[in-house]
Every structure is written in C-alpha cells, then in structure tokens.
Amino acid sequence: MSNKIYLLRQWRTWVFILVVLGISVLLYYFSHVAYVKVNITTSVTTFLQVYWGNEQSGYAEERSKVVRVFKDKKNYLFTIPHTANITRIRIDPTIREKTLVILRYFAIYQDGYKRIRLNTPKDFKQLRLVKDIGSNEISRNGLKLKTTGKDAQLELIISPERIRGTYLPNFFRLLLLAALAWFVYYLFSTKQPEPEVA
C-alpha cells in the first residue's frame, strides 16, 4: 500500500509522461499535415473554400477547408491533409456574386515536399478559371477578378515533389528525445522511500 501511495504522490512522473505523450502526438500531427498560406482581399466579408483531390477522387465537401475572409484582413493560414496523394486543388474565393477578389499569394508547404507557390504572374497563369469568373487580370499584384455567380471556382494542378525535410519535425524529434532522456534520468535519480521500521 505504501508503495502505491508513493507512486501516486510522484506527480512529476505523471506530468512528464503526459508531456512525452503530448510531444509524440504533436510530432505525428505536424508530420502528417500540409499548411496553406493565402493572401487574399475581397470587397465583402465572405468565405474562401479550398478543395483537394486526385485522378481517382473528385472534389467533395469532406475534402475541403472553409475559411472566413474579412474585408480588413489579408493573410490566412490553415492546414489540409498530407499532400502525397493530392494532385488537384480547387479554390473557391467567395460564395457571393459580383465580388471583387485579389489573390496575391497562395502556397502549400509541408515538411519533406517542395513548396507549391503562386506569387508571380507566371505562377498565377497556372490557375484555370473554371466557373463564375468574369473580368480578370494578372499582374505583379496577383490575380484580380470579379465573380459573376455564387460558385466561383479556380483550379490548380499540382505534382507533389519529395525533398529533404526541414527543421520543424527535426526540432520536435530532438525535443522528444531530450524529454525521454530527462525522464529516464529522473526515474533513476529519484530517491526511493525508506522502508518502515516495525
């Protein structure tokens, strides 16, 4: 019984167990998602929706991310699943018709893969105008367009390319190893309770 009470009192042990588990979960999460960074301006507050798919699967609501876009905000950052199986991206810049949209920057980046980025006139020419896009212009300021309906769509064909990993997952790996090493040291250096004398 005394040993059980002793273990329960070692709250530091349980805290560090939770820390190690938490770091492991974060490490897994950050290595299995891609980040999407967007710089966009709209004439009204609306919603941006990004879909992903490949040759086998079309676009669907469950394979999309919706972000609210405000008139006075330009930069947005959100995550999508691992890009290994993604070859097509659909960008719905707004859900409102007759909306002025300026897309200045669009990028997808994930550790271990080459960054996919649109920020020059040449880059923006890769976008295909699919639906409900009226007047449009590509310049050094990005893609400027006006929607003609409530379902404006742009499409980008991508080819994920593997490269060497960057520092972020390596940082978490080192942090995890450091936490494990400290935890082992803590367990072996903790003074055990003296046996009770009858």
13-55 confidence digits (pLDDT tens): 666 667 667 766 666 666 678 899 999 999 999 999 999 999 8
pLDDT of residue 61: 94
Are residues 135 and 178 both part of a single domain? no
The answer to whether residue 108 scores a pLDDT higher than 70 is yes
The packing angle between helices 167-189 and 11-30, to 10°, is 160
Are residues 151 and 172 both part of a single domain? no
Are residues 43 and 134 both part of a single domain? yes
Are residues 145 and 90 both part of a single domain? yes
- Measured in degrees and rounded to the nearest 5, phi and psi for residue 182 equal -65, -40
b/e map of 19-31 (b: 16 or more CB within 10 Å)? ebeebeeebeebb
Are residues 148 and 174 both part of a single domain? no
b/e map of 142-151 (b: 16 or more CB within 10 Å)? bbbbbbeeee
Instruction: Summarize pLDDT for 52-80 with one digit per residue, the tens.
Output: 999 888 899 999 999 999 988 999 999 99
* DSSP secondary structure code for residue 96 in this structure: S
Q: Is residue 149 part of a domain?
A: yes
Q: How far apart are CA 30 and CA 24, in angstroms?
A: 10
Are residues 41 and 112 both part of a single domain? yes
Q: Is residue 104 part of a domain?
A: yes
The answer to whether residue 182 scores a pLDDT higher than 80 is no
pLDDT of residue 114: 87
The residue segments making up the domain with residue 77 are 34-157
Domain count, the chain: 2
Q: Which pTM was predicted?
A: 0.73
Q: Is residue 113 part of a domain?
A: yes
DSSP string, 27-54: HHHHTSEEEEEEEEEESS-EEEEEEEE-
Are residues 105 and 50 both part of a single domain? yes
Q: Is residue 196 part of a domain?
A: no
Q: Residue 9: which pLDDT band, with cuts at 50, 70 and 90?
A: low
Are residues 182 and 135 both part of a single domain? no
Are residues 108 and 180 both part of a single domain? no
Q: Is residue 133 part of a domain?
A: yes
> Taking CA 97 as the corner, what is the angle to CA 91 and CA 102, rounded to the nearest 5 degrees?
50
Q: Is residue 63 part of a domain?
A: yes
Query: H or E element: which one contains 23?
Result: helix 11-30
Percent of the chain with pLDDT over 70: 68
| CATH label of the domain that carries residue 38 | 2.60.60
Are residues 106 and 184 both part of a single domain? no
pLDDT of residue 91: 97
Q: How far apart are CA 161 and CA 21, in angstroms?
A: 31
Q: Is residue 197 part of a domain?
A: no
Are residues 108 and 182 both part of a single domain? no
Are residues 106 and 9 both part of a single domain? no
